[in-house]
Amino acid sequence: MTDGILLIDKPADMTSFGVVARVRRVLSQAAGKKVKVGHTGTLDPFATGLMIIVVGKECKNAERYSKLDKVYEATIELGKTSTTGDPEGEITVVTDIEPSKDDVVAVLKRFTGIVTQTPPQFSAIKVNGQRAYKLAHKGEAVEIPSRDITIHSLELISYDYPHLKVRTHVSSGTYIRTLAEDIGKALGTGAYCTQLRRTSISEWSVGGAENLDAFMTKNAPKA
C-alpha cells in the first residue's frame, strides 16, 4: 500500500510516533522507496486501541480524521492521584474514602454534554512552539488554556472499589486522563487513569483493526 488508510490496534508501552515509524519502515521496504506515513491523533504510550494511519496522498486528510468523535473504555483508580494522570507518573495516596455506586453514577451524569476541560501538562499540545510534555519534563511551568469539549455519553461498565470502568463517547480534543482526574475531584477521592483503550473513531472500530505485530510480520520483506 502506498496511498490510503490503515487501521492499527496500538499495543501498550509504545508511542504513537513509534507505531508510525514501524509502519513507515515496512511499507517503504515493500515499495522500495520512502512512503509517507502519518497518524490522525496520538494515543498515550500506556493506552491501546484504534489508530487510523494515513499513507501517501491520504496524509493530506489527516486533520479531517483527527476531528472525528471517538469512543474509549477506561479504568480509573480512586483514592490516588498521578502527576501525569496515568500509571507513568508519580502516584500519591489521597484517601481511603469509598464512594457508593450511587455516588459514582451521580457524578458521571455531571460529565455529559458540553464540559470545560483543561488539557494535562503532560500532553502533546504545543505551548509557544514546544510540546507541553517536553516543558513539563524539564520542570517548567506550563499554562494550557481550558476549552470546551463534548462528552456525548459516559457509561459505568463496572465498579469494584477502588476501580471503576467506564465507556465514553467524546468529541475530538477530549483528554480521558483529565476526565478521570475530574471525576476523582468531584467524588472527593482523587483519581487517575490506569488503563485506556480506544475502541472506535467515527464509523471505524478496533474490531476491524490489525494487530501491529501481525501487520509487521505480514509486510516484512521476504528473506
Q: What is the pLDDT of residue 146?
A: 81
Which sequence spans correspond to the domains of the chain? 4-67+204-219, 70-201
Q: What is the pLDDT of residue 133?
A: 54
- The secondary element (H helix, E strand) that includes residue 106 is helix 101-109
What residues in the chain have per-residue pLDDT under 50?
Answer: 135
> What CA dihedral angle connects 123, 126, 127 and 133, to 10 degrees?
30
Instruction: Identify whether 44 is a catalytic site residue.
Output: yes
Q: What is the pLDDT of residue 128?
A: 57
Asked whether the bond before 221 is cis by omega within 30 degrees of 0, the reply is: no
Q: What is the pLDDT of residue 220?
A: 81
Q: What is the pLDDT of residue 137?
A: 55
User: Considering only CA atoms, which of 96, 76, 95 is closest in space to residue 87?
Assistant: 76
Whether 70-201 and 4-67+204-219 are alike in CATH topology: the answer is yes
Active-site residue, selected from the candidate residues 9, 44, 86, 182? 44
- CATH dotted code for 4-67+204-219: 3.30.2350.10
Residues whose CB is less than 8 angstroms from the CB of residue 139 and which lie 6 or more positions away in sequence, other chains included: none
pLDDT digits (tens, 9 = 90+) for 156-174: 999 999 999 999 999 998 9
Q: What is the pLDDT of residue 183?
A: 97
- CATH dotted code for 70-201: 3.30.2350.10
Residues whose CB is less than 8 angstroms from the CB of residue 7 and which lie 6 or more positions away in sequence, other chains included: 50, 51, 52, 53, 204, 206, 208, 209, 210
